[in-house]
Amino acid sequence: MLEIADLQVELDADAGLVRAIDHMRLTLTRGETFALVGESGCGKSMTALALMRLLPENGRVAGGAVKLDGRDLLALPESRMREVRGGRVSMIFQEPSTSLNPVMRVGDQIVEAIQAHTALRGAAARAKAVDWLKRVGIPEPERRIDDYPFRLSGGQKQRVMIAIALAAEPDFLVADEPTTALDVTIQAQILDLIRDLQRERQLGVLLITHDLAVVSGMAHRVALMYAGQIIEVAPAAEFFSTPKHPYARLLLQALPDAGRRGEPLAAIAGTVPPLWLDFAGCRFAPRCDKAMLHCAGTPPLLTEEGPQHQVRCLLYSQPGEALPRATAQPKVERAQASGQGAPLLDVRDLRVRFQLKAPLFSHGLRHFDAVDGVSYQLHAGRTLALVGESGCGKTTSGKAIVQLLRRQAQISGQALFDGQDLFQLHGPALVEARRSVQIIFQDPFASLNPRMRVADVLEEGLIALRPELDAGQRRERLLNLVDQVGLRRDALQRWPHEFSGGQRQRIAIARALAVQPKLIVCDEPTSALDVSVQAQILNLLRELQREQGLAYLFITHNIGVVAYIADDIAVMQRGRIVEQGACADVLGQPREAYTRTLLAAVPRLNISAS
Ligand code: SF4
């Protein structure tokens, strides 16, 4: 159905010519889900944009063909391509807030797609649009159809995007991270919908994602990309059971899960190389644990290593002498804090209430209880995971503990930290508490001030919360901090934009550690990161906990991360804790129906990479 032949895509960038896709070949048959996986910047999304002919202005196809049922899409006049786009081929984009028209009701946007590509008109088209909204899980579709996009949550906008893409009844769907912004239960619903449509309509799906668990549940075949090239293609089951490329193996070993508790995750050293470089040999060589002497000078080709299984690696086509390398790290035993004795943090009946603006001409104030009577305990050296879907109150309860909501919300209940109620503190006692309880945010791009050098970012907290330190002592502390989080010392003089996402998250961790806290609230600290970078950050957090006895309140929706790092778990729903206990008990034998629903919706990767 789809054949990508020798596709080359180039982009003009400040640093020079970027070869974003380098001689890509793949084929996709009707009714097949083909997953394109890889970390940020490997060329997955650029492939989708190239085949839809939606490349950014600085990009162009430098060679190759994209054939749909034998017709080269790259050679079509734009007017014909417009018919194909949204008709025979639909695309679900990653970012719903910029993909919907903000001044058009959502129903009209779906009806537009239906009328452009099917015979339905007027009331029939509107009824079909309501039906699509229902199928993608929008509650009260008859009412929501007349809403403008700004009235919808991020997840709902994504579902509307999916409805628009499917409403044209395409033959072929390009889904670029279609469920990344969604909660697991909605994600499961959308993935089921795509699977159903695929069976009904023999839909071909090119699924682009970094979520390997989603891939294992959806895809028939998988292609792994690295630095603009496909480096392994295989049937999905084979890819997950016997990956051949060293990068594929490391990626699978870097995934956190219960089976890897107590040992460091596989860390893939280094980062993806910039694509303006001229590569003399294997692009993965500087990071490869199996690199051989000739890898740096010989570019590997994609070769057949089994039926439908191709690999780009010299280990298979030209084996040679291995590079000398350091011996493997010994397995580190997890220092298990007991959870006995007085808790470090004892939260009792925490309630967080936000006042809402009353609608015009109405009387009285309205309010919203984001956290509604939550109690838990956290001991030094242990990790408590707060899990639940967006809007369940997990982040709000974390922010309340770090005293970030004192002005915006009414807070009641107690948060006893080392025996003192955090909510009753003022003056020097409050400063001391702020020092002891720190937070790491989800988005390392938004949480660092772009106008401050790293040294200033780290020193700011020290000046405010450790005024007794003089300039020399602060300087020494900064050097220690960058050592601790694995950054080079020259990082102190650089600006946040000079760092990758993972490095920025290390800076954020260093900022939290600067004032020697006892408790860190980790608010989705790895959800914006690639798998290999996530592994590095989780390893770092675990090591710091072992060395310094830190307690973590770990807020996340990623059950794999929870199973790997948490000692205890509290499941939240609509502002309340519905179940809590030891991690293994809650994940292994959940008692509450909601916990079971949540866990059942989580895509799983039940493999153990060799
Ligand atoms: Fe590693 Fe060499 Fe294979 Fe590249 S070609 S992945 S460096 S073994």
pLDDT tens sequence across 214-261: 899 899 999 999 999 999 999 999 999 999 999 999 999 988 888 888
Picking from 178, 208, 227, the residue at the C-terminal end of a domain is: 227
Of 359-368, 416-425, 444-453, 461-470, least confident by mean pLDDT is: 359-368
Answer whether residue 319 is part of any domain. no
- pLDDT band, residue 610 (cuts 50/70/90): very low
Q: How far is the CA of 581 from the centre of ligand 1 (A)?
A: 45
Answer whether residue 420 is part of any domain. yes
11 closest CA partner among 65, 60, 62, 54: 60
**Per-residue pLDDT at 607:** 56
Average pLDDT over residues 403-407: 86
Pocket probe mutation, ligand 1, options 225, 231, 288, 305, max atoms within 8 Å of Cβ: 288
Calpha distance 159→137 (Å, rounded): 7
Q: Which of 152-156, 360-364, 586-590 has the highest mean pLDDT?
A: 586-590
Answer whether residue 367 is part of any domain. no
**Per-residue pLDDT at 126:** 95
Please check the confidence at residue 301 and state whether its pLDDT lies above 90: yes
CA-CA-CA-CA torsion sign (11, 451, 498, 229): negative
Answer whether residue 369 is part of any domain. no
Whether ligand 1 lies within 6 angstroms of the CB of 243 is answered as no
Answer whether residue 356 is part of any domain. no
Q: What is the pLDDT of residues 269-300, one digit of tens each?
A: 777 888 888 899 999 999 999 999 999 999 99
Of 319-323, 410-414, 545-549, least confident by mean pLDDT is: 319-323
Total structural domains in the chain?
2
**Which pTM was predicted?**
0.84
Pair of tokens at residue 372: 């509604």
Q: What is the pLDDT of residues 67-106, one digit of tens each?
A: 999 999 999 999 899 888 878 899 887 776 677 888 999 9
CATH number assigned to the domain comprising residue 50: 3.40.50.300
How many angstroms separate the Cα of 521 from the Cα of each of 471, 556, 604? Answer: 28, 11, 26
Calpha distance 523→511 (Å, rounded): 15
Query: Is 552 exposed, middle or buried (CB count within 10 Å of its CB: 0-12, 13-18, 19+)?
Result: buried
DSSP result, 437-475 = EEEE-S-TTTSS-TTS-HHHHHHHHHHHH-TT--HHHHH
Q: How far is the CA of 528 from the centre of ligand 1 (A)?
A: 28
Answer whether residue 327 is part of any domain. no
Calpha distance 71→62 (Å, rounded): 18
Query: Is 298 exposed, middle or buried (CB count within 10 Å of its CB: 0-12, 13-18, 19+)?
Result: middle
Which atom of ligand 1 is found nearest the CA of 247? 6
Taking a C-beta distance cutoff of 8 angstroms, is the pair 510, 481 a contact? yes
Of 106-120, 315-329, 581-595, least confident by mean pLDDT is: 315-329
Whether ligand 1 lies within 6 angstroms of the CB of 228 is answered as no
153 closest CA partner among 370, 391, 356, 369: 391
Please check the confidence at residue 323 and state whether its pLDDT lies above 50: yes
Q: What is the pLDDT of residues 479-509, one digit of tens each?
A: 988 888 878 888 899 898 888 777 888 898 8
Average pLDDT over residues 442-451: 81
Of 21-30, 107-116, 275-284, 502-511, least confident by mean pLDDT is: 502-511
Picking from 205, 227, 249, the residue at the C-terminal end of a domain is: 227
Domain that includes residue 581, residue range: 381-600
Answer whether residue 9 is part of any domain. yes
Which atom of ligand 1 is found nearest the CA of 283? 4
Whether ligand 1 lies within 6 angstroms of the CB of 291 is answered as yes
Calpha distance 567→569 (Å, rounded): 7
Q: What is the pLDDT of residues 171-198, one digit of tens each?
A: 999 998 888 777 788 888 888 888 888 8
Answer whether residue 234 is part of any domain. no
Picking from 173, 200, 227, the residue at the C-terminal end of a domain is: 227
Average pLDDT over residues 601-610: 64
Please check the confidence at residue 338 and state whether its pLDDT lies above 80: no
